[in-house]
């Protein structure tokens, strides 16, 4: 027995080493698998809850993780310019103003595919540096109870100011880009004097200049105003929830806020980022957004939602290349003076 003892000890030692080694490798393999999951980095100026639901769905169907970093426009721009900031984005998902600034600063590279090629030219950069994926137009949110009490139709912008008794709500032009964008757009379409005089007249009917885009739609839905100048996405939430509010698209045209995506120069995961950009233009994205009560309109003519709204004859006006930041500030200043009655 004694002569077999060394053999038994060696066997026991090898068994322990094997068990420990197997456990270690198993744990290492699991950790390695987790750390090696393909990921793309997205810098965005959008509310994080909007992008988060898309990131979760994309990871579920493709096994590609989408790391979302929410930033203000200024933060995003400064971080992209700072080469010492460490982790960089593969994609910028933001409004058109931010994307145009990123292109001007050489932060983006062109990307076009069979998916982006069908997007109408008004929704994308002429050289393919970014592509619009959805937009949010300004609409009239009319309280249905009010509509039953009046024989006057609300079809055009002039219809709001033609009835002095109509109570109107809107977001302050100084409070949100989407609101200010409406002012610039109508100035571009109708002229500065006509537009400023229009809002000076309408001022007498304004119940509240809201600080948030969501407020006017809520006011119309609750009967606090008769008609609100509101964004489509917020108004549609109340429509879907059964509130007595009706969306009316101005016949003479309206402004819209465009959201798009651009491929970052030097992106570490360029191929995966391109696939994500393509996916953002598809029907699945609209479905996920709607399921989470984000009601935007897609830019892709082949999506079901786009075709649904094509029948509504929604007329979009554009101004985005007409006014510099200095000119925009001057228009806002004139509107404030007109509202205060300062000539």
Per-residue pLDDT tens for 52-89? 999 999 999 999 999 999 999 999 988 888 765 665 89
Between 66 and 17, residue with greater pLDDT: 66
Q: What is the pLDDT of residue 322?
A: 79
β pairing state of 245-248 and 131-143? antiparallel
Residues 130, 116 contacting (CB under 8 angstroms): no
Confidence of residue 17 (pLDDT cuts 50, 70, 90): very low
> What share of the chain in percent tops pLDDT 70?
87
Question: Domain of 276?
Answer: 39-135+256-310
Phi, psi (degrees; rounded to nearest 5) at 132: -75, 140
Number of domains the chain is built from: 2
pTM here is 0.86
Output the pLDDT for position 83.
62
Q: Measuring CA to CA, how many Å separate 203 from each of 181, 292, 322, 339, 340? A: 18, 35, 26, 7, 9
Cβ–Cβ < 8 Å for 118, 244: no
Sorted by sequence, the CB contacts under 8 Å of residue 160 that are 6+ apart come out as 140, 154, 166, 168, 202, 205, 227, 229
Residues 210, 333, single domain; the answer is yes
Residues 129 and 251 in one domain: no
Indicate which CATH number applies to the domain containing 200: 3.40.190.10
Residue-wise pLDDT for 294-338, tens only, equals: 999 999 999 998 988 877 889 999 887 778 889 999 999 999 988
Mean pLDDT value across the chain: 88
Distance CA 137, CA 192 (A): 21
* Residues 90, 239 within the same domain: no
Residue 27: pLDDT band with limits 50, 70, 90 = very low
Pick from 231, 146, 127: nearest CA to 180: 231
| 58/98 same-domain check | yes
Rounded Cα gap, residues 38 and 188, in angstroms: 45
């Amino acid at each position: 027995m004694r002569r077999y003892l060394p053999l038994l000890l060696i066997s026991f030692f090898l068994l322990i080493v094997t068990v420990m080694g197997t456990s270690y490798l198993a744990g290492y393999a699991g950790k390695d698998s987790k750390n090696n999951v393909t990921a793309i980095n997205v810098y965005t100026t959008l509310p994080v809850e909007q992008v988060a639901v898309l990131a979760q769905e994309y990871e579920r169907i493709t096994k590609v993780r989408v790391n979302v970093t929410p930033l203000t426009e200024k933060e995003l721009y400064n971080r992209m310019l700072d080469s010492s900031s460490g982790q960089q984005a593969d994609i910028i998902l933001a409004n058109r103003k931010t994307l145009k600034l990123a292109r001007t600063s050489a932060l983006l590279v062109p990307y076009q595919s069979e998916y982006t090629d069908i997007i109408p030219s008004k929704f994308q950069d002429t050289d393919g540096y970014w592509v619009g994926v959805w937009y949010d137009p300004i609409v009239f949110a009319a309280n249905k109870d009010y509509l039953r009490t009046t024989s006057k139709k609300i079809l055009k912008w002039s219809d709001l100011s033609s009835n002095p008794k109509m109570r109107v709500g809107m977001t302050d032009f100084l409070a949100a880009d989407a609101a200010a964008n409406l002012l610039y757009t109508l100035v571009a379409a109708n002229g500065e004097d006509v537009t400023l005089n229009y809002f000076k007249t309408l001022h007498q009917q304004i119940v509240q200049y809201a600080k948030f885009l969501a407020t006017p739609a809520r006011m119309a839905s609750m009967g606090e105003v008769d008609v609100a100048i509101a964004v489509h996405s917020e108004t549609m939430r109340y429509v879907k929830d059964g509130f007595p509010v009706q969306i009316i698209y101005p016949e003479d045209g309206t402004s819209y806020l465009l959201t798009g995506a651009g491929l970052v120069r030097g992106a570490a995961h360029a191929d995966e980022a391109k696939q994500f950009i393509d996916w953002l233009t598809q029907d699945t994205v609209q479905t996920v957004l709607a399921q989470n009560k984000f009601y935007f309109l897609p830019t892709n003519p082949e999506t079901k939602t786009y075709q649904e709204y094509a029948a509504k004859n929604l007329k979009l006006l554009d101004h985005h290349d007409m006014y510099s930041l200095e000119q925009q500030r001057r228009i806002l200043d004139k509107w404030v003076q007109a509202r205060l009655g300062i000539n």
